[in-house]
A and B are shown apart, each in its own frame.
Chain A
């Protein structure tokens, strides 16, 4: 199994038939900072008749330590996640970069312990990013109940390059009859979050997120939709500061997790 090397938007993989139940691996960012997105994703899955299991002992995929150059610390945290998924159900992750971490890096992070590494590999093989799961496993199709609107989609770099989810994100939006998608300038470019990068190199990170916000706004879209909470916080909190500095009360670039947007548009949630 090799990582996709070009980001045309898809990675070839075999998807399972519709399961009875899934594990929901929320990720630490969703748990603590954007819980509504997690809750909406759970509701979305349940509405499709899927039993959603939330392993209460889940913490974090280990990505922050792994990408910061602390592999031993990442390993310690990853090892503590391997007992969370005893049944052979798919694991759904509402965040592209965490899904990418599990799918492509867990086995390596575990390293020499063959037993643990095999378990990590087995988990990786049944880990899916939410949007790809909705399209390829559930064939999510529900009538759009919202007013006509235009949105911009930001696909995180990990989702695009490691999980190949650019096209599934677009596909889900295209299935909503009243939603049109505005493609923003430099659409494939990183928003500048990069975890610790945003703290270590604030100047460059600021330049990147400022450009991203500007190109998203320039589409004239009413809002931004993304399936990655790191990018979402980065982009919306940047836009919020711009609003604050300009004395605007209403957000100029509201952002929503794709799960929230889908649920709202298909009548599962009040605006």
Chain B
């Protein structure tokens, strides 16, 4: 199956995606039967796995409440916690860097790479590194960046982007992966035996861990009180990346900090269960500094890059701040009827699905993303499964308003008003005038009913898939009145 947007732009920096292009991507995706059936199957599987982890609705609800509370508490204290984190990491020997933009983050990391004359950086899975297009920035400067998470490795070989934040290659079939491996890995012939494919990947990556100069990783939770970076993973590649190379660079968004270790346990527990339906992940790494004098292994140098990239904008607004509660489990996309039908690539963002719709506008601006919040029925499946109770539908409505309102001074968001249409606004104003005046509404609905024969047979999007909507010959109020 080809990726829905397997156009020239995959694997390259996210170029400006207009609303029109976004529509085309969504159209192509939803009409790709292969994509449809593979995402349906994968999402059904993940939903069932998650459900099996939460047999007790009350226990789930109390764990969600606790997790929401921890995230909100952490965000309320975010500025203090970040300072505390920096102080404790520094004390532990970790060098802390602050980056406001993707460019700054990449420049910091390229600087570290150049100082070490690094030729190869081996990477654990990190969505923030996707967000800043790290691989591209390194390769442009002549430094190799190799993904070591199996899914990310596949996506990188294919020259694509992840289509899911937890399972980046979920859109690829084993036959496609077999073909990719045979084409790209010297000495490998075609096999679609999954175990064999895993062994091939494992062998390739083993060598790379040995020769890599730098290991890069993400962070799931950064603990302020102890200066500890927690990393959740299943393949052991995260541990390899953070322990084998001489230098380890971790990168994360500024929102990932929590105050203390005891806050990590509930979040970790609900993260793995919500994400992959695992009671616990295979690996849980706690990184608290470089190798000490009496230690035999571990990196000699550890860096943490803290990235803003629009998060401060979300933080500044009490309602939008809830976006930052996210622990990146992906449950919202697994349960989203829209994501299930278009897959992750159609969104044109690093983070797809419901969370992508509410977080991307802060990272990329509404100019580029204003269509995303409209691509939802507000069914509420995402909010219902969110482990930290982010009110995603409420935020989608807020973003629709930010996008469509007339551009004004001091907006809460970059690109406010990008979806403004004078005509649409006029229509809603007229609607409000009619529907807030009972007399006008009665006249309007009487006309609509009386002249129902004039109802258009072509009702744009509606009649593309349905027979037309026609007002009834008599309104309910007529029936009620006639009965009296």
Q: How far is the CB of A268 from chain B (nearest CB, A)?
A: 14
Chain A interface: which of B110-118, B196-204, B282-290, B396-404? B396-404
Q: Which residues of B contact A33 (CB under 8 A)?
A: 469-472
Which has the most chain A C-beta neighbours within 10 Å: B341, B376, B432?
Answer: B432
Question: What is the distance, in angstroms, from A154's C-beta to the closest C-beta of chain B?
Answer: 12
Complex contact A202–B461 (CB within 8 A): yes
User: In the complex, what distance in Å separates the CA atom of A192 from the CA atom of B484?
Assistant: 38
Which B residues lie within 8 Å of A56 (CB)? 438, 477, 481
Q: Which of A6, A193, A209 contacts B384 (CB under 8 A)?
A: A6
Interface residue A107 (Cβ < 8 Å from any Cβ of B): no
**Chain B, 45-72, CB within 8 A of any chain A CB:** 57, 60-61, 64
B380 & A161 in contact (Cβ 8 Å cutoff): yes
A194/B378 in contact, CB under 8 A = yes
Residue of A nearest to B36 (CB): A207
CB distance from A104 to the nearest CB of B (A): 10
Are B462 and A199 in contact, with the CB atoms below 8 A? yes
Nearest chain B residue, comparing its CB with the CB of A62: B435
Q: Is B467 an interface residue (CB 8 A)?
A: yes
Which of B436, B437, B470 has the largest number of chain A CB atoms within 10 A? Answer: B436
| Stretch of A112-120, A142-150, A169-177, A230-238 that contacts chain B | A230-238
Stretch of A14-22, A35-43, A132-140, A219-227 on the interface side: A35-43
Tier of interface size on chain B: 35 or more
Chain B residue at minimum C-beta to C-beta distance from A83? B438
B residues in contact with A209, CB < 8 Å: 465-466
**Which residues on the A side are within 8 Å of B36 (C-beta)?**
207
**Which of B64, B378, B379, B460 has the most C-beta atoms of chain A within 10 angstroms of its own C-beta?**
B379
Name which of A7, A8, A30, A207 has the most chain B CB atoms within 10 A of its CB. Answer: A207
Least CB separation from B375: chain A residue? A201
Which of A30, A69, A161 has the most B CB atoms < 10 Å from its CB? A69
Residue A66 at the chain B interface, CB threshold 8 Å: yes
A34 touches B472 (CB 8 A): yes
Residue of A nearest to B68 (CB): A5
Partner of A238, one of B26, B398, B399, B465: B465
In this assembly, does B464 line the interface, its C-beta being within 8 Å of a C-beta of chain A? yes
A189-B337 contact in complex given A54-B477, A71-B401, A207-B30, C-beta closer than 8 Å: yes
Partner of B479 from the list A35, A59, A161, A208 (CB cut-off 8 Å) is A35
Name A76's contact: one of B30, B64, B432, B464 (CB within 8 Å).
B432
B175 adjacent to chain A (CB < 8 Å): no
Chain B residues positioned under 8 Å from A5 (CB to CB):
61, 64, 383-384, 389
Contact flags B228-260 to A (C-beta < 8 A → 1, else 0): 000000000000000000000000000000000
Q: What is the minimal beta-carbon distance from A252 to any residue of chain B, in angstroms?
A: 13
Chain B residues within 8 Å of A64, by CB: 431
**Mask: chain B, 373-392; 1 = CB below 8 Å from A; 0 = not:** 11111111101100001000
B348 CB to closest chain A CB (Å) equals 15
Chain A residues packing against B (C-beta within 8 Å): 5-8, 26, 28, 30-36, 38-39, 42, 54, 56-60, 62, 64-74, 76-77, 79-80, 157-158, 161-162, 188-190, 192-210, 233-234, 237-238, 240-241, 244
Chain B residues with CB under 8 Å of chain A are 26-27, 30-31, 36, 57, 60-61, 64, 337-338, 341-342, 373-381, 383-384, 389, 397-405, 425, 428-429, 431-433, 435-438, 441, 445, 448-449, 460-462, 464-472, 474-481
Q: Which 7 A-B pairs have the closest CB atoms?
A: A194-B377, A69-B400, A202-B461, A190-B379, A237-B466, A73-B432, A206-B465
* Additional 9 contacts, C-beta under 8 A, given A76-B432, A76-B433, A204-B341: A35-B476, A54-B477, A68-B404, A73-B431, A157-B378, A188-B381, A194-B379, A204-B30, A205-B465
